[in-house]
Every structure is written in structure tokens, then in C-alpha cells.
Amino acid sequence: MRISYREAMRQALHDALTSDPRVFLMGEDVGRYGGTYAVSKGFYDEFGPERIRDTPLSELGFVGAGIGAALGGMRPIVEVMTVNFSLLALDQIVNSAALLRHMSGGQVSVPLVIRMATGAGRQLAAQHSHSLENWYAHIPGIRVLAPATIADARGMLAPALADPDPVVIFEHAQLYNMEDELPDDSNEEPNEDWRCDIERAAIRRPGSQVSVITYGGSLPKALEAAAELARDGIDVEVVDLRVLRPLDTETIAESVSRTHRALIVDEGWRSGSLAGEVMARIVEHCFYDLDAPPVRVCSEEVPIPYAKHMEEAALPQPAKIVAAVREMLNV
């Protein structure tokens, strides 16, 4: 079955709402509007306004309400329209969701899923183009996921909901229209065939000469670059982090110690980036296996501009990845 990332996410949500009466979806325009990215289209009519709960533009309020509802026995899925607006809810995510378990000495857990779109690439200018995944990945107490494939869009939500602790899911806005094959569900239990782990990174393309490590919206770019390099006989491995917190150091180190070279692609700004953390772990774990210094392709240190050519220049692109790999290999 060939479906879009949007449809995969929609099916995952539909399964969650169908299989567990404690699950409800809450956020701005998730109901009558059908979701800003049309992920919850039709849900309002099917599940009703209690479970597909439209909220006012009160990110702090409804994210906090999601935390409270999770404490109270529900399994809320809170959709913060985009990461840009999640800054208005940052206090509740960082100071409540992530900390309550610890501050209570382990008495409470917060089984909350927060979904948000992230990333640039659609000429939405500086305030609507952030990639702040690493801000969240910095915080102990929350799990951070970045589904970048159809299978992960379909399969990550169920284990995220089963997690007793808060999970933040970043959906790169550029991925919603991406299509791919998804195997048919042969199992009678909803979701069983697609349920995937939310622990490990994945090697999306095996290769031998350099490990390109990336996540989210940069994964298709890395795969495109790898395909182009393959035409010139350069064999690139592409690692998809998938889980941004806790990072799967083992898979990263295994790959890099095999290829002896690492290039990290991250749509976040270079300074203080997740790419920096990945690079640090590579240096900590694989220093003596490296044949070259690790390299990063990140967003340029500039707010994302509106003009198309300027936006493209600010972001990681396949051509930049290709050039960086060639430079590393000196070919």
C-alpha cells in the first residue's frame, strides 16, 4: 500500500483513538478545521468534540491541561501546531511534564504525547521555520522522536502512547506529502504490524565509506545525496537517529567505527546543535577509529529568510551534503 506520511500519521492516530478510550486529541484546529496539516481530518465527526478537542490559542494552558489530564488517568495527545508555538508552552513541558516524576520522588508519571510540526523549507520566514528539536532533546525526563519515514509515522505513536513518560514527536512539515510503500496489515490487532521501537537509530542505507547521520526532514536530503554519490562510486551509509532523546550512541558508534568517517546533517543551527552532541559522542566513543575529523552540515547561523533562494542557502541541501562528503574523502 502506497501512502503519504500524513496518511500514515492519520491512521496511527485513528488506531490510537479506536483502541483506547483514554486517548484523546487536543490542540488548535484539530477538530472542525481537521488539523492544520489535515492529519486529523474527519476525526471530529467520527469521535466527537470531547475526544477531538479544539482549544483556544493557549499553548501554555492546553499543554498544561494535557499534563494534568495525563496525571488524572487519560492518555492525551496534544498537538501543538508547530514547534514555533511550542515556545509558548515551554514552561509546562520543561518545568512540569519533564520534572514531575522526579520532583515527586517517582510517585507520578506523565503519560502524555505532544506532537508538533517542525522545520523550514516552505518560505514561511523566520518565525515559522524553526528546528528546535535539540532544545527538547536537552531535557532529562522526556523522550524525543523524529519520525522521518512512512513506517515510523505509522508505527511510533502506539509505543509513544504506551510510554508512561512524556514523549515529544516532531513531524517535519516537509515530510507530510512524502509517499512510500507500507506493508499491508496482516495482523488482526490494530497497529501490531507497524508498531516499531522508540529506542534505536536505524541504518536507512548501508554503506562503507562515510556515515551520514541525520534525522527528520534532513533524512530524504541525505538519501538523495547518497544516491548521487553512489553514481560516482562513493558508498555512503545513512543513519537515521529516529530517537533524539535518549540518543542511540551504540548504533552511531557501530556505524562510524566501520566507516571511519562521520558527517552529521542537522537542520538546527550549528551552535549548540544536536549535531554537536552527536559529534561529541563520536569523538568520545570512536576517536581512534576515525580517519578524518567529523564534519557537520547544519543550518547557517541566520534566521530563516523568506526569499526562496536565501532560504535554500540557509538550510542543509543534498548538494551541500555531497560536497562535504567529497571533501572528506578528497574525491
The count of other CB atoms within 10 Å of the CB of residue 67 is 25
Query: Is 247 an interacting residue with respect to other proteins (CB under 8 A)?
Result: no
- Of residues 141 through 160, those in contact with other proteins by CB under 8 A are 141, 143, 159
CA 161 to the chain's CA centroid = 15
How crowded is the C-beta side of 70, counted as CA atoms within 13 Å? 32
Q: Of 216, 281, 206, 204, whose CA–CA distance to 248 is shortest?
A: 281
Contact status: 60 vs other proteins (CB under 8 A): yes
Residue placing its CB nearer to other proteins in the complex, 195 or 281: 195
Piece of 91-99, 203-211, 293-301, 321-329 that binds other proteins (CB under 8 A)? 91-99
Q: In whole angstroms, how close is the CB of 224 to other proteins at the nearest point?
A: 31
**For other proteins, which residue of 12, 74, 113, 279 counts as binding (CB under 8 A)?**
74
Q: Got the DSSP string for 145-186?
A: E---SHHHHHHSHHHHHH-SS-EEEEEEGGGTT-EEE-----
Q: Is 64 in the site for other proteins (CB under 8 A)?
A: yes
Which ranges of the chain would DSSP assign to H, the alpha helix?
5-19, 43-51, 59-71, 83-86, 90-91, 100-103, 133-137, 150-155, 157-162, 219-231, 249-259, 274-286, 308-314, 318-329
Point out which span in 64-72, 170-178, 182-190, 319-327 binds other proteins (CB under 8 A). 64-72
- Residue 18 found at the interface with other proteins (CB under 8 A): no
Q: Indicate whether 67 belongs to the interface with other proteins (CB under 8 A).
A: yes
Please check whether residue 146 is in contact with residue 215, taking contact to mean a CB–CB distance below 8 angstroms: yes
Residues annotated catalytic, as ranges: 59, 128
Nearer to other proteins, 67 or 117 (CB): 67
Rule CB under 8 A: is residue 282 a binding residue for other proteins?
A: no
Q: How far is the CB of 51 from other proteins (least distance, A)?
A: 8
C-alpha cell at 325: 562528503
Can you give the binding site for other proteins, defined by CB under 8 A? 24, 50, 55-56, 58, 60-74, 76, 88, 91-92, 95-96, 100-109, 140-141, 143, 159, 162-165, 197-199
